[in-house]
Amino acid sequence: MDKVFIKELKVDAVIGVYDWEKQVRQPLVFDLEMAWDIRVAAQTDDLMHALDYQAVTEYIERFVREQHFQLLESLLERLADGLLKEFGMPWLSIRVEKPAVVPQARAVGLFIERGID
């Protein structure tokens, strides 16, 4: 299946298990791949038939701004569910990095795949 992707989308979030993390916004970096058959969009040259990566980006920014979780797991599971329902892609993968929060590592994070490719 064809894929639409978003790479290194930076969004500030209130996220974390520790008290200090509930008082600040920390950067998260998202990479997404979303399955989408691009042929109808290509034939019609019409955004209406495309998976609009700008609209997906704005959905993620709004979701992360409005929802506060302790675990990245909680954020990612709900975000994936929301994207599948809102945009109707059959499959997606999301990778999220929390940079510089664990001093020994450049970044930590998660990678999930949901739906059917």
Ligand X SMILES: Nc1nc2c(c(=O)[nH]1)N=C([C@H](O)[C@@H](O)CO)CN2
Return residues touching ligand X (CB under 6 A): 16-18, 21, 71-73, 98, 101-102
> With respect to ligand X, which residue has the nearer C-beta, 40 or 102?
102
Q: Least distance in Å: CB of 104 to ligand X?
A: 11
Q: Torsion-angle region of residue 84: left (phi > 0), alpha (psi -120 to 50) or beta?
A: alpha
DSSP string, 62-76: HHHHH--BS-HHHHH
- Region of 16 (left: φ > 0; alpha: ψ -120 to 50; beta: rest) is left
Our answer to whether residue 10 is catalytic in this structure is: no
Rounded CA separation 55/72 (Å) = 22
Q: How far is the CB of 26 from ligand X (least distance, A)?
A: 8
Residue nearest to ligand X (CB): 16
Active site residues: 98
